[in-house]
Amino acid sequence: MTSRATLPSRGLADQLTGLFWRRPGLLLLLLITPPLLWLGVVYLGSLAALLLQSFYSIDEFSGVVKEEFTLKTYGELFRAQNLDIILRTVLMAATVTLACAVLAFPIAYFAARYARGPWKAAFYLGVMLPLWSSYLVKVYAWKLILAKEGIVTWAAEGTGTGFLIDGLLSIPGLEGASLSTSPFGTFLVFVYIWLPYMILPMQAALERVPNSMLEASADLGATQSQTFWTVILPLALPGVIAGSIFTFSLTLGDYIIPQIVGDSARFIGLAVYQLQGTAGNTPLAAAFAVVPILIMLVYLTLAKRAGAFDAL
Amino acid sequence: MTAAVEFHAVSRHFGTVKAVDGVDLTIAEGSFFAMLGPSGSGKTTCLRLISGFEKPTGGQIRIFGEDVSNTPPHLRNVNTVFQDYALFPHMNVRDNVAYGLMVKGMGRAERYRKAEEMLALVKLDSYGDRKPAQLSGGQRQRVALARALVNEPRVLLLDEPLGALDLKLREAMQDELKALQKRLGLTFVFVTHDQHEALSMADSLAVFNEGRIAQIGTPQDIYDRPATRFVADFVGSSNVLPPEMTRALGGPAEWASLRPEATRLAASGPISGQVTALRYLGSGTRVVLDANGTEIAALVPAGQTVPAEGDMTAIAFEPGALHLMKGA
């Protein structure tokens, strides 16, 4: 018996597979339409609504939103108290990002280049585990750790290093009764909470740097620090930038940590939360919310100019 | 002649794995030296021991007489052309080539001038502004070569540099590498698993097997007078004759090798058997026969009559073609 050159169709699955084979664009369309709708309508749509709101203003007496185009609300951002909020937030976000990058790099480097088998599993668990527990629980835990009666102060006094904390708390700008009421406490908690978001993209980027690249650098006479600055860092930069986008924008928008830990100074996120909720000043809240978006755009443009994405 | 590289009882063990085990080796200055062997035979580890990426667990390595046991890679005056070229993707070709000079603190104008000179040497004059990703495999290979040579190393190490190239390009690069080595008078140490490449390019070569050197000598030595069964089999797929067969042919009871191309088919001869396989090679046909359980291959040049599979035939050869081996 001679067998046929083609096999009979076994039903719908075969017919669909055939259809997609004949028209590959169709499958792509089916797959990306739902996420595109989500992105287009829900995400970009709300962003557009936000942008629109920011060009409205509020009537100072009645508190009613006037739906007329104006730049008055943006002008309000430049009032001393609001400018103060923006500067404080950007400064915090920048220092948190820098600290995260410095802390994350050796961890990511170890995980990418040395950790194998169970060590790798331990690394992922160690980085991800904090993300499994509630954000609020972690922040309150830190409040207790950093409090005057907390373990940090207790340990410092026990080892006679209490003067370090006192010294830290007397630095202008970082004053507070204890670490948990000092801006330094806010900084510490931000760094702790966002660190995994810096480690993971960094590790992914470092893993893509082949070992022979580092050997080539050494072979050509580079010291380890030269290799770091001229080969490892430029090649890992897309990962560092990706991580910094997380830490930077998350800090820019967070409104819970500064409420719980620190000196209750306002940050952009907190300002948006209060203006939107308590004050009912949606236009100013929207204008505040546009600030991080602009900052991120400027940041990414600068990073691109500096060649951060050349290695992609 | 000065020795460029000397190994004295060098070993590199990874736990219980003896990647390199008691290797003695002398590479003469200005020679084109090949390290040949199957993968896992220790040849690449030996190369990495010279560059400093591996530390010996025993023995001593000298480069131009200097003990380099405590010298890190970046302070060794040797450079490597890596198997995957390892060009820096974020730098253009010129910066790649000038990298070694840059990290040594040479000024920009000076190092770019030298980089351009090197690029001219490898015939890539106008490619300085391109990124490695915009180059073909053969061009990347040349950039890797220029990047290593610009540092004026005393020894150039090449780790399977032609492995990723297609046949035509590989042959062209073989000629070019050889010409370059002659012109510069540099010591080249070349790792390959390709016996043709090793035989055609090297002045002398070492055949590696299981972390040891099976034989070291000129290509002629190795090809015509293999020291062991492994060498006979690995270099040029020679016939390996067991002791009883050698004795039956009138020799002592020792292992012997017989090159297929040193034989001819004949109506009657000392070895006879049934043809079990034919392989057409273009320049000839490799005829394999089963001589009392031992596979013996003969090379029939193109134009001569080739027997069919299953035919009975015999093999004749000059008495000198049979080479006795020391055993193992």
Report the residue from A213, A234, A311 with minimal CB separation from B86: A213
Report the residue from B51, B82, B89 with minimal CB separation from A311: B89
Q: How far is A239 from chain B (nearest CA, A)?
A: 14
**Superfamily covering domain B3-231:** P-loop containing nucleotide triphosphate hydrolases (3.40.50.300)
Q: What is the DSSP letter of B40?
A: T
Among chain B residues, the shortest Cα distance to A221 is held by B74
Q: How far is B121 from chain A (nearest CA, A)?
A: 19
Q: Are B124 and B93 in contact (CB under 8 A)?
A: yes
B216 SS3 class = strand
Distance CA B112, CA A65 (A): 64
B242-324 matches B3-231 in CATH topology: no
Query: Does the distance separating the beta carbons of B103 and A215 come in below 8 Å?
Result: no
**Interval B282-304: pLDDT, tens:** 888 999 999 888 889 999 988 88
Q: Are A136 and A233 in contact (CB under 8 A)?
A: no
* B327 — pLDDT class (breaks 50, 70, 90): low
B173 SS3 class = helix
Distance CA A244, CA A96 (A): 9
How high is the pLDDT of residue A94?
93
Q: Mean per-residue pLDDT for B58-71?
A: 92
Encoded tokens for A4: 């046929």
* B-interface mutation test, from A219, A227, A235, most B Cβ less than 10 A away: A219
Query: Does the distance separating the beta carbons of A220 and B151 come in below 8 Å?
Result: yes
* A-interface mutation test, from B78, B99, B134, most A Cβ less than 10 A away: B99
Query: Does the distance separating the beta carbons of A223 and B86 come in below 8 Å?
Result: no
Q: How far is B88 from chain A (nearest CA, A)?
A: 7
Of A294-308, B23-37, B57-71, B95-109, the poorest mean pLDDT is in A294-308
**Interval B225-276: pLDDT, tens:** 888 888 988 887 788 888 888 888 888 888 888 888 888 888 888 888 899 9
Among chain A residues, the shortest Cα distance to B79 is held by A219
Neighbour-count burial of B133, counting CB atoms closer than 10 A to its CB (0-12 exposed, 13-18 middle, 19+ buried): exposed
Residues of A in contact with B86 (CB under 8 A): 210, 212-213, 215-216
Q: Mean per-residue pLDDT for B72-84?
A: 93
Q: Mean per-residue pLDDT for B43-66?
A: 94
The domains of chain B are located at: 3-231, 242-324
Query: Model pTM?
Result: 0.79
Report the residue from A210, A212, A226 with minimal CB separation from B103: A226
Overall fold of domain B242-324: OB fold (Dihydrolipoamide Acetyltransferase, E2P) (2.40.50)
Residues pairing with B13 in the sheet: B18
Using alpha carbons, select from B189, B133, B156 the residue that is nearest to residue B7.
Answer: B189
* ipTM field: 0.84
Q: Are B299 and B223 in contact (CB under 8 A)?
A: no
Which residues of chain B have a Cβ shorter than 8 Å from any chain A Cβ?
A: 51-53, 72-75, 78-80, 82-84, 86-90, 99-100, 102-104, 147-148, 151
How high is the pLDDT of residue A310?
67
Assess whether pLDDT exceeds 60 at residue B328: no
Q: What domains are there in chain A, each with its CATH number? A: 86-305 (1.10.3720.10)
Helix H segments across B185-279? 195-201, 219-224, 229-234, 243-248
Residues of A in contact with B100 (CB under 8 A): 220-221
Tens of pLDDT along chain A (312 residues) come to 567 888 888 889 999 999 999 998 999 999 999 999 988 888 888 888 888 888 888 877 777 777 888 888 888 888 888 899 999 999 999 999 999 999 999 999 999 988 888 988 898 898 888 888 888 999 999 988 988 888 888 888 888 887 888 888 888 877 777 788 888 999 999 999 999 999 999 999 999 899 999 999 999 999 999 999 999 998 888 889 889 999 998 998 888 898 888 887 888 888 888 888 777 788 888 888 888 889 889 988 988 887 777 655
How high is the pLDDT of residue B251?
80
Query: Does the distance separating the beta carbons of A220 and B147 come in below 8 Å?
Result: yes
Query: Does the distance separating the beta carbons of A219 and B80 come in below 8 Å?
Result: yes
* A-interface mutation test, from B50, B74, B78, B118, most A Cβ less than 10 A away: B74
